[in-house]
Structure 1
Amino acid sequence: MNNKIIGIVLVVGGVALALWGYNIYDSASAQIGRALNGDTPIEAWAGMVGGVISVLVGITKLK
């Protein structure tokens, strides 16, 4: 029972974190930065990758 609650929290938090990372990636300042020098903000990558990892760990806890 306790693992299922942790799994649900990880899945919901991971989805929110991945969406936050994508919003940073898609922001106007990030688009200008990518156009000028090709750099992507590290916060965007950290949010998206961290969110996906959190979702995967949460799914394994739900099983």
Structure 2
Amino acid sequence: MKKALSAGLFIAGLLLLYFGYQEYQSIGSEVEEFFTGSPSGQAMWMLIGGAVAAVVGLFGLMRK
């Protein structure tokens, strides 16, 4: 059961990383970064959340 939860968390983290990267590269984020100097908050939260979820899921999969 814990392995399934860890695998789900890992996959969800990878999906968040993918969609966060897509949002980071979007036209709207590029325009916001041009004017404010930083990328959109939504892109950053998706990237951070995806990284955390992927690391936690991977750690859960590696444990015995």
TM-score of the two chains, using structure 2 as the length reference: 0.87
Give the gaps of 5 or more residues in structure 2. Answer: none
Percentage identity across aligned positions?
24
CA distance in 1, matches of 2:18, 2:47: 7
Match of 2:61 in 1: 62
Q: Cα offset for 1:34?
A: 1.2
* Letter paired with 1:42: G
Tell me the alpha carbon deviations over residues 2-53 of structure 1, each in whole angstroms, 9 at most, x when there is no partner. 1110011001000001111111110011111212231311111110011010
TM-score of the two chains, using structure 1 as the length reference: 0.89
Match of 2:36 in 1: 37
Give the gaps of 5 or more residues in structure 1. Answer: none
Aligned 1:1-63 pairs, distance under 5 A = 2-63=1-62
CA RMSD of aligned residues (A): 1.0
